[in-house]
Structures are given as C-alpha cells and as structure tokens.
Structure 1
Amino acid sequence: MKKNLKPTYDPEADVLYFLARKGPIEKSVEAGPGITLEYDRKGCVVGLEILHASKVMGKGIIASIHARQSRDE
C-alpha cells in the first residue's frame, strides 16, 4: 500500500511538517537535533517535524514545497 506524506511548511517559524496519517499523537521522540517523530498509540509514525527546515533541507527544496503548498490552498 502506497502512502503519501503531506508536507506543510511554515515560513515564519521555518518549520517543515510531514503528515503521514491523521490521528491522535501518543508520543513525540526527538530523532536528532531539530527533528521530531510523532507516533500514535500503536507505535506507527503519524508525523515528522523538522525545525530550521531551510538549513536542513536546503532553500531550493523548501521554496518548492512552499510554492506547491500555496498553489494547493
């Protein structure tokens, strides 16, 4: 089964969030500096948050994600 991650970028906070599936978050775990994984009660990843996204991912990738997000709204 193919799953799509839906990216959302907040330019003011420079935070990139990937939503894997909707549902309540049971726990959050810091996977690395500025990277947080969010899990549901079954232990499945429901989200991924990246702080300082333009530095981590690169400004070109972030600009592309932000442009697509703005177009889809």
Structure 2
Amino acid sequence: MLMQSKVRYDAKSDVLYLFSDEGDIARSVEVSPGVTVEYGERGNILGVEILRASRVLTVSVIASLHAKQAGVL
C-alpha cells in the first residue's frame, strides 16, 4: 500500500506515476508490460509507474488528474 501517496501524470509522454516520499528505491520490478513497481529496502512499495496510462485509465480519470495538477480540483 502507498502511504501518503502523490500522483503525477505526464500527458506528453502518457506516463502516470504514483509515489511516496518515504525511503530510497532498492529495486524495481516490471509486474506487467508497462507497469513497474519500485520497492524500498524493507520490501515496501515506494512507487508505481504506468506507461501508456491513457490505455489503462478512463478518460474521466485522466481529465481529473489534469485538473488536479492544474489546481482546479
């Protein structure tokens, strides 16, 4: 589980990144094509990167992320 997670979406590269500020990344594992999970030294999840996020997420979720980053929500 991501504790106090943050979300960043880069529309130009279509990458979604969920992350926590806590800890250093010890290893990264591609759990499925285009989805990488980053783990800390204790095996805790520090981040999740989703490539081609618009293929995975709905249009409304992407729009919500854009609005949140722009400070609208």
Q: TM-score range by the shorter chain?
A: 0.7 to 0.9
For 2:69, give the aligned amino acid. Q
Question: Which residue does the alignment assign to 1:36?
Answer: 36
For 1:18, give the aligned amino acid. L
- The structure where helix makes up a greater share of residues is 1
Question: Which residue does the alignment assign to 2:22?
Answer: 22
For structure 2, the 5+ residue unaligned runs are none
CA distance in 2, matches of 1:54, 1:60: 10
Q: What is the RMSD of the two structures over their aligned residues, measured on CA atoms?
A: 1.5
For 2:52, give the aligned amino acid. H
SS of structure 2 residue aligned to 1:4: coil
TM-score by length of 2: 0.85
For 1:69, give the aligned amino acid. Q
Count residues in correspondence: 70
TM-score by length of 1: 0.85
SS of structure 1 residue aligned to 2:47: strand
Question: Which residue does the alignment assign to 2:8?
Answer: 8
1:28-67 matched pairs, under 5 angstroms: 28-67=28-67
Q: Shift of the alpha carbon at 1:62?
A: 1.1
For structure 1, the 5+ residue unaligned runs are none
